[in-house]
Amino acid sequence: MPRYKIILEYDGKGFVGWQRQANGLAVQQAVEEAIHAFSGETVTLFGAGRTDAGVHALGQVAHFDLRRDFSADKVRDAVNAWLRPNAIVVLAAAVVGEDFNARVSAIARHYLYRIADQRPPLALRRGRVWHARGPLDAGAMHDAARGLVGKHDFTTFRAVQCQANSPVRTLEVLDISRQGTEIHIRATARSFLHHQVRSIVGSLHMVGVGKWTARDLTDALAARDRTRCGQVAPAEGLYLTAVDYPDNAD
């Protein structure tokens, strides 16, 4: 039974998130239905990250099994044909070994959060960035973020409904830079807690507008108390940009 790895790009607006739910269309469901439409087979699609409603992806990775053999190009093109008009695209497909697992085999996940701090309203970027009050001090945000890098108990930046067994995670990268009228926040870790990135971004925003200092941010982390977190940044600014695997994972 061949296993296929696909890389997906999607606009999270209009979806209830990655995972199938009873209250609306999920990305997982839309892709599974497209696979069924071209292959006649009912599959379960396993994704590297369970993005929330409204969160976008530039490089989500998933895998599924089929009974019949198809070329990778056939899978890519056929699934894309049946996905229309959904805002989901298969960027690439590959045949992989049966030991590949899009979630379990991943060794790093990369996220980008985009904040627009311009005063005028947004036009083309509406729904794709957080239009936050500013101006924001990207330098202060970057300096404060250093205190969150490394292995920590991230209870403060973890959703109450998070089902992870442990709040301890190792944040390998947390980089903040200004890109024109936007602040870009890039985060990398092997795995993240539910709402971890958005919670951190909301707290960094407090630093950017001058309401918090770097010490306030590290104190919030040390408190291990969800009530010490700043606002949770909206989903529309968050992108799963890439997922890394060992060289032999394919």
Catalytic positions are: 52
Residue closest to 25 by CA, chosen among 33, 81, 164, 144: 33
Side-chain-side CA neighbours of 1 within 13 Å: the count stands at 9
Tokens of 172: 């390998």
Q: Which residue reads 């069924």 in tokens?
A: 36
Residues 6+ apart with CB under 8 A from 110: 59, 173, 186, 187, 188, 240, 241, 242, 243, 244
Q: Is 247 in a helix, a strand, or coil? A: coil
Sign of CA dihedral 209, 215, 220, 221: positive
| Cα 156-157-161 angle, rounded to 5 deg | 95
Q: Specify the 3-state DSSP secondary structure of 194.
A: coil
* Euclidean distance between CA atoms 88 and 240, whole angstroms: 14
Please list the residues that pair with 62 across neighbouring strands.
6, 47
Tokens 């005063």 sit at which residue? 119
- Of the candidates 170, 163, 165, which has an alpha carbon nearest to the alpha carbon of residue 189? 170
